[in-house]
């Protein structure tokens, strides 16, 4: 056993783009308010691999790779409707996201 701490270096990656923050009011339409999946959170530690931005994290241990996937989680109403567990729901969520984006652009 080595007596020193073995440490791997982590490549510092610049963020692809600034994380777009979205308010709850931007995701509420004529339907009832949707607060997103309660399992979605953001890590507090800013990691070099994410360009020192808070990375999205799923508390159910699903891998969330980017902000587009985090947005799908934000539009998922309940953890039982998880789009990772039910990939057939992705198209419906993307249509709902596009519809809200068009409505926001029209305003």
Strand partners, 51: none
> Taking residues 30-48, what's their average pLDDT?
76
What pLDDT does 76 receive?
92
- Distance of alpha carbon 63 from alpha carbon 10, whole angstroms: 19
- The pLDDT of residue 44 is 74
Q: What is the mean pLDDT of residues 87-92?
A: 95
Is the distance from CB of 72 to CB of 83 less than 8 angstroms?
Answer: yes
pTM of full prediction above 0.75 = no
What is the rounded distance in angstroms from the CA atom of residue 61 to the CA atom of residue 54? Answer: 17
Dig out the tokens for 46 from the structure: 């800013």
């Amino acid at each position: 056993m080595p007596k020193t701490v073995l440490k791997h270096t982590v490549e510092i990656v610049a963020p692809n783009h600034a994380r777009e923050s979205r308010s709850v009011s931007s995701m509420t339409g004529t339907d009832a308010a949707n607060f997103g999946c309660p399992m979605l959170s953001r890590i507090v530690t800013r990691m070099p691999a994410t360009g020192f931005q808070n990375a999205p994290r799923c508390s159910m241990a699903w891998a969330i790779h980017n902000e587009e996937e985090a947005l799908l989680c934000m539009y998922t109403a309940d953890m039982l409707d998880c789009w990772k567990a039910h990939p057939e729901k992705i198209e419906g969520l993307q249509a709902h996201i596009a519809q809200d984006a068009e409505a926001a652009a029209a305003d």
